Amino acid sequence: MTYQEASNELMQLEQEIRVLQQRKYREEQVIEIKKRELEKYTDDLYKEHYDVKQLEKNSIGTLLKKISGNYQKEYEKEMNEYLIAKAKYDEFIIMIEDLHSEVNRYRNEIFHKEQEIKRKKQDIRNNYPEGMEIAKKEEELRKKLYSQKKELEEAITATNRVYELTKDALEQYKSAKSWATYDTFFNGGLISDLIKYNKIDNAVEIVSQLQSATDRMNKELKDVKVAFDSNLNQIDGSTRFFDIAFDNIFTDWSVRNKLSSNVEELTRYCSKVEALLASLRNEKRSVEKQLLE
């Protein structure tokens, strides 16, 4: 067999796998649809079963139906409805089981063809000069992929730290805003001011850590060629003095507005970091998939 013939066999197997994956995906989509339909038939089955059991109970209502002569007719009606519901339920259960069997069959076929591809690739690498050159290039690519994976893991760790700190700061600012709202509309006084600023102090401390963590994250992101930039604004220290010393609705309203602004800023920042984290994780999965090929 020539190198070209071996390569053609390899491409044929890869094409067959793509077709099988498409079919498996379609069957999985049908399973999800049938599962949702099954929920309705499950509810119908439980309802009809309940109605039958209610008639079988020795209740006053059942006794009255027996005396009036309506019991047998109603019992047969409810039992018939139950049997119809059960037949429909059983039909969907069998249908879903058959679909799962089909998906498993596709999965097994894909697995065996993937194993065959691995053997053929190894055979090409070992027995053809062109294959040896390909193997050399693949080894170089694998080294790059392992390096990329490590850099992505470091970027994910740094980004996850930023995400967790952002959520913590947001929680503290939201709590402070709640106290500020109480202070503004219900004249909470010194106690509410102290609780509010305790929450703000916690938030400011976390944001300080967050800014440092963001710097670290940006350095890691440069290694994976991802740009990320966002500014964070904190409530200024002078507001505390005027809020407590001259406690009135104007200073209370000002603090509440600043806290609202901080909550909005951190909410936006949190969403942006979360999206970045998801993107990095997807990229890492993509690299891992290439390493398995």
Q: Which of 239, 257, 230 lies closest to 166 in space, CA to CA?
A: 230
Give yes or no for residue 110 having a pLDDT over 90: yes
How confident is the model at residue 113, as a pLDDT? 92
pLDDT in tens, 157-207: 999 999 999 888 888 877 777 656 555 445 544 445 555 566 777 777 888
Q: Which of 153, 155, 282, 279 lies closest to 220 in space, CA to CA?
A: 155
* Locus of tokens 């500014």: 231
pLDDT in tens, 2-50: 877 888 888 898 899 999 999 999 999 999 999 999 998 899 888 888 8
How confident is the model at residue 24, as a pLDDT? 93
**Domains plus CATH for the chain?**
3-127 (1.10.287), 147-292 (no CATH)
pLDDT in tens, 129-141: 776 777 677 777 7
Give yes or no for residue 101 having a pLDDT over 80: yes
How confident is the model at residue 187, as a pLDDT? 56
- The answer to whether 170 touches 210, Cβ cutoff 8 Å, is no
- The answer to whether 198 touches 229, Cβ cutoff 8 Å, is no
For residue 216, the one-letter residue type is: R
pTM listed for this prediction: 0.48
Q: Which two tokens stand for residue 4?
A: 């070209």
Of 93 and 259, the one with more pLDDT: 93
Average pLDDT over residues 275-282: 90
Average pLDDT over residues 227-232: 62
- The answer to whether 16 touches 113, Cβ cutoff 8 Å, is yes
Is the backbone of residue 232 left (phi > 0), alpha (psi -120 to 50) or beta? beta
3-state SS, the chain, equals: CCHHHHHHHHHHHHHHHHHHHHHHHHHHHHHHHHHHHHHHHHHHHHHHHHHHHHHHCCCHHHHHHHHHCCHHHHHHHHHHHHHHHHHHHHHHHHHHHHHHHHHHHHHHHHHHHHHHHHHHHHHHHHHCHHHHHHHHHHHHHHHHHHHHHHHHHHHHHHHHHHHHHHHHHHHHHHHHHHHHHHHHHHCCHHHHHHHHHHHHHHHHHHHHHHHHHHHHHHHHHHHCCCCCCCCCCCCCCHHHHHHHHCCCHHHHHHHHHHHHHHHHHHHHHHHHHHHHHHHHHHHHHHHHHHHHC
Of 182 and 227, the one with more pLDDT: 227
Percent of the chain exceeding pLDDT 90 equals: 22
How confident is the model at residue 71, as a pLDDT? 67
- The answer to whether 56 touches 76, Cβ cutoff 8 Å, is no
Q: Which of 14-23, 55-64, 273-282 has the lowest mean pLDDT?
A: 55-64
Cα 237-159-236 angle, rounded to 5 deg:
5
Question: What is the average pLDDT value for the chain, to the nearest integer?
Answer: 78
How confident is the model at residue 262, as a pLDDT? 75
How confident is the model at residue 180, as a pLDDT? 60
Q: Which of 233, 236, 240 lies closest to 261 in space, CA to CA?
A: 233
Helices 3-56, 60-68: axis angle to 10 degrees equals: 80
Most confident residue range from 19-33, 209-223, 248-262: 19-33
